[in-house]
Structure 1
Amino acid sequence: MIDLALIGIGTGNPDHLTAQAVRAMNQADLILLPRKGDAKSDLIDLRRTICAQLLTAPVRVVEFDLPVRGAGGDYLGAVHDWHAAIAAVWQTQIATHLPHGGQLALLIWGDPSLYDSTLRIADRLMQAGMDVAVRMIPGITSIQALTAAHAMPLNRLGEPVTITTGRMLRAHGWPRDAGTLVVMLDGNCAFATLPPDGIAIWWGAYLGMAHEALIHGPLAQAGPRIAAERAALRARHGWIMDIYLMRKEQADAS
């Protein structure tokens, strides 16, 4: 039996981990840390820092190379193939380091329930016949970190919030009847495809980290600033994690 704990670690700041998350880390027999290549070395470094600061028990920490997702072609097909490759790597690591079972922990950016596929990949282990019990420890989401950084509420009074991706925004535009829109996983500044009049944007990158960057303002003025700052930050660090919230103006913005 493999007891698989998916632990939300927020945006990589050790202060973002809950007491429950720290306890789960220290109860593990093995923590697997994925390496994503030299261009994203900061990501593995953040996970290493979390382990160094928060582990007080003699937990084994093993790093592995994460498969690369195929580019181009059918997006969903490429994602499914990528998930299958990751599940295969997990199986190899489990067979090597936990051949007789035990408690395995994975450190998940943000919260494992929000635009993260770790749960779906874990399902592949069970479909392959592995005896796996999955439990999830919630973490601070990038949405929470963004609204906290800008000191703002997520929703307007009595209004719903729509969460989408950059790919969907670019393909379909502003969702119908959405007053507040949160956009995640946007690698190409999809906000630039929108008519900017009457839209305000709150953007953040590397939230909760020492090099956190924030921009807010009318989309017409803030959009080009965000695009330029995003490109500069990505060139400087080799990777970027960002998110933004947009709102349309209304007569009563209470």
Structure 2
Amino acid sequence: MAAPLKVLILGVGMGPQHVTPEVAAALRSVDYVLAAEKGAEDGLLALRRDIVNAHAGPDGPVEIVSVPDPERDRSTGLTGAGYQAAVADWHKARAAEYATIMSERSGTAAFLVWGDPSLYDSTIRIVEKVRQLGVSLDFDVLPGISAPQLLAARHRIVLHDVGRPVTVTTGRRLQDAVATGLDNIVAMLNPPPDRLDLSGLDDWTIWWGANLGAPGEQLVAGRLGDVMGAIADARAAAKADAGWVMDIFVVRRG
């Protein structure tokens, strides 16, 4: 019986400068990196290449095997259940693509995960789905610098008041968190400003950032009602500069 394939899921923050020595050593030990490709001008794939090149071993950078990313239903009118179903279908299609490649190749594969694999990322789930499709594999996970850590550092803040909790959720569920009485919230996976419900939060304080640690990084902070326009402009600038945008923010009452 053949030995299981080895897979490493590596947290890489937002660029070569965030890669820990542990992750850099692991990256030099693998045979190839699997990466989703979202079109001919995929800036995030290019950034993965920068990471691989920056941490190459004596034999040169590891091979990147790019995989066309399956389409995902991003309809604006999706219900909560519809959104969950769309993401589940997308993950299933990704797993099938990866399973095909991993079944045909030997050696150790790696996935480079933005931020940290434990926080609003599904690479672990997808690798588990690959195994469910019949690919014999074992995997390990190495942590990276997360987006909330970067946001707090850039704004020189602590994510919570003394002895108080902080809640991490998605932009889609921000108002659900507010409705339950939560008043110190980190929101990730955010839609564009015109689709993000910030009603009732004008007097809250926001610390916002986009493309943190990457070219075109943008930061805005202040009373939410005063800076909403600045956030929309900064988000557009980040996308124009890099061709992609990932933003995150903290909102706090008062």
TM-score (norm 1): 0.89
| 1:95 partner letter | S
In the alignment, what sits opposite 1:48?
A: 49
Q: 2:181 aligns with which of 141, 163, 177?
A: 177
What 5-or-longer segments of structure 2 have no aligned partner? none
- Find the partner of 2:88 among 80, 91, 94: 80
Name the amino acid aligned to 2:66. E
Matches within 5 A, 1:108-187: 108-170=113-175, 172=176, 174-187=178-191
Residue identity opposite 2:171 in structure 1: G
Which of the numbers 99, 102, 108 marks the counterpart of 1:91?
99
Supply the AA of the counterpart residue of 1:122. V
Q: Deviations over 1:184-230 (max 9, x none)?
A: 01113366532134300000111112321100000010122102321
Give % identity: 37
CA-based RMSD of the aligned residues comes to 1.8
Segments of 5+ residues of structure 1 without an aligned counterpart are: 250-254
Distance in 1 of aligned mates of 2:55 and 2:116: 18
Secondary structure of the residue aligned to 1:24 is: helix
Instruction: Tell me the TM-score normalized by structure 2.
Output: 0.89
**Shift in alpha-carbon separation, 1:91–1:6, aligned structure 2, 3 A:** same
Which residue of the partner structure matches residue 107 of structure 1? Answer: 112
Cα deviations across residues 34-60 of structure 1 (Å, max 9, x unaligned)?
Answer: 211145x21111100111110115433
Mapped partners of 1:173, 1:50: distance in 2:
36
Residue in structure 1 matched with residue 18 of structure 2 by the alignment: 16
Alignment of 1:3 onto 2:18: no
> Which region of structure 1 is more displaced relative to structure 2, 64-73 or 17-26?
64-73
Give the number of equivalent residue pairs. 243
Match in the other structure for 1:66: 69
Any conservation in 2 of the 1:8–1:21 contact (CA below 8 Å)?
Answer: yes
**1:180-195 paired onto structure 2 within 5 Å:** 180-189=184-193, 192-195=197-200
Q: What SS is found at the alignment partner of 1:174?
A: helix
Divergent runs of 4+, >4 A: none
Q: Give 2:110's aligned amino acid.
A: A
Q: 1:126 Cα deviation (Å)?
A: 1.9
